[in-house]
Amino acid sequence: MVTDGGTQERPVTGSRVSDLCLSDATLAALDALCTRCESVFGGSQDLEFAIYGDTVHLLQRRAITRG
CB neighbour list of residue 43: distance below 8 Å, 6 or more residues apart: 63, 64
> For the segment 12-43, what is each residue's pLDDT rounded down to a tens digit?
989 889 998 899 999 999 999 999 999 999 88
Sequence-distant (6+) residues with CB within 8 A of 34 are 45, 47
Nearest CA-CA partner of 25 in 60, 49, 58, 55: 55
State pTM to two decimals: 0.69
Is 42 among the domain residues? yes
Residue numbers of the domain that contains 54 = 23-63
Would you say residue 9 lies in a domain?
Answer: no
Query: Is 1 part of any domain?
Result: no
Residue 37 located in a structural domain: yes
Q: Is residue 7 part of a domain?
A: no
Q: Does 40 fall in a domain?
A: yes
Count structural domains, the chain: 1
pLDDT at residue 67 greater than cutoff 70: no
